[in-house]
Structure 1
Amino acid sequence: MRFLDEITLADEFVRLEPLGHEHADDLSRAARTLDYAWYTSVPDADAVPAEIDRRLALRDAGVMNPFAVRRLQSGEVVGMTTFCSIDQPNRRVEIGYTWIGTTAQRSEVNPAMKRLMLAHAFDACDAIAVSLMTHFHNRQSRAAIERLGAKLDGILRNHRFMPDGSLRDTAVYSILPHEWPAVRSGLDARLARR
C-alpha cells in the first residue's frame, strides 16, 4: 500500500475517516473547545471549512493524506490528523497536523489514533521511518510524542514561519521499524487500561 491510498482505519476506540466537508460541523464544535496557544496552528471554528479545503488540496497534490478522527464512544468527530511529508520512494512519512478537541484530550483517542496510523505505516506500507514534529515550546505535544516511545532526532531551528510571523523551532522525533514492536506494546498496554 501507499501512504496516499484512501483508507479508513478503525479499532474499538476511534475511526480515522478520509477527511471531507461532511465533518465540518463536528470539527468546528471540537475547535471551539480549544484554548489557542500561540505555538499551535489549530484553526478557529469559523476557519475549519477553509482548513478542510487546504488539506484536500494538499491531498490532491500528493503530499498529504488527511483524516477526520471519530471517537466511537460518542460518535463525534473530535479532531484531524494526517500522513504528511510523504516520501513514498524512500518509504518515509510524517504523522502530523494533528489536533484533538478538549473533550477527547488525555483519553483513549490519541493513543488509539497513533496505534492505527503507525501500524498502517509500518505493517501495510513498509515504512523505514515515521516522523512526528511539533513546536519546541509545545510541551504537551512533546510529552505525548515521547510517551509513544519516539526518539528525539533534534531541533530544527528557525524551521518555519508561524501564522503570526514568528519563527518556529521544530522538535523532530522518529520511530524506526525495529522500534515499532516496543512502541506497539506500549500503546496496547495503555489502551488495555481504558
Structure 2
Amino acid sequence: MTGPWFEQPTLTGKYVRLEPLTLAHAADLHRAADDPTLFHWTWRPIETVADATEYIRHALDDPQRLAYAQIATESGAAVGTTSYYQLDPLHQSLAIGYTWLSRAAQGGRINPEAKLLLLRRAFEDLGAVRVEWHTDELNAHSRGAIAKLGAEFEGLLRKHRRRADGSWRNTALFSMIDDDWPLARAQLEARISE
C-alpha cells in the first residue's frame, strides 16, 4: 500500500527514537527481553537472538503493520517495539499496539514519549480522527497504561482473538479521537517533562 499513511518515517524525541524495525535490531531486542512475563499476553518469550529474529520477521511479514524499534536515545539501543496497525486512511483511523518495553526501561519517559510521537503523527500529520488500542481483557497492566494515555475504554470484543495457548480472549477496546487529542497531548507532554 502506498501514500502518507503507509510511510514510516523515523520519529525522534528527547528520550526515545522510533525507527522502522529491521533484522539489525535482533541482538538489542534479545537483550531488552529481560523478563519473560513481558510476552505473557502477546508472544512467546524471546530467549535467544534467533527468537528475536523470528519476532521481527513476523512483524515485517504483516502487511497491515508498521513496526518500530524503540531506541533509547541515551544508550542508542533498542529497548522494545511498538507498531501502527489496521491503518484505514478512508475512515481516518489506525491502531497502536504490539508494544513491549524492557522491564529496565519501564516507568520512565520512554513509553509516554513514544506514544506522544505516534499520536502526534497520527492526529497532526496524517489527520486521523480515531486511534484505537486493543488488549486482552485480563491484562490489567496494559489496560491501566492505555487509560493513563487519555484513551477511553469502549467495551469488550468477545472471543475476538486466540491466545498463544489456543484459548479465546475477549479484547478490551480503547480509543482516542481527535477531540481528545489536545488534552491528551498536554498531559503526555507534562509527564515527559516531570
Normalised TM-score (structure 1): 0.93
CA contact (8 A) 2:93 2:129 kept: yes
Q: 54, 61, 67: which one pairs with 2:58?
A: 54
Q: How does 1:71-90 map to 2 (within 5 A)?
A: 71-90=72-91
CA RMSD in angstroms comes to 1.4
The verdict on how the C-alpha distance between 1:42 and 1:80 changes in structure 2, with shifts beyond 3 A counting, is farther
CA contact (8 A) 1:3 1:83 kept: no
SS of equivalent residue, structure 2 residue 37: coil
How far residue 36 of structure 1 moved from its aligned partner, in angstroms, is: 4.8
Unaligned segments of structure 2, at least 5 residues: none
Aligned to 2:122: 121
CA contact (8 A) 2:130 2:175 kept: yes
SS of equivalent residue, structure 1 residue 130: strand
Provide, for residues 13-48 of structure 1, a one-character-per-residue CA deviation record: whole Å limited to 9, x for no partner. 100000001100000111133435643436423321
Aligned to 2:174: 173
Q: Paired residues, what number?
A: 190
CA contact (8 A) 1:31 1:42 kept: no
SS of equivalent residue, structure 2 residue 90: helix
CA distance in 2, matches of 1:68, 1:9: 11
Aligned to 2:5: 3
Q: Percent identity?
A: 36
How far residue 152 of structure 1 moved from its aligned partner, in angstroms, is: 0.6
CA distance in 2, matches of 1:15, 1:183: 20
Provide, for residues 49-71 of structure 1, a one-character-per-residue CA deviation record: whole Å limited to 9, x for no partner. 1111111111xx3x111100001
Aligned to 2:16: 14
The verdict on how the C-alpha distance between 1:123 and 1:105 changes in structure 2, with shifts beyond 3 A counting, is same
SS of equivalent residue, structure 1 residue 45: coil
Unaligned segments of structure 1, at least 5 residues: none
Matched, 1:143 2:144: yes
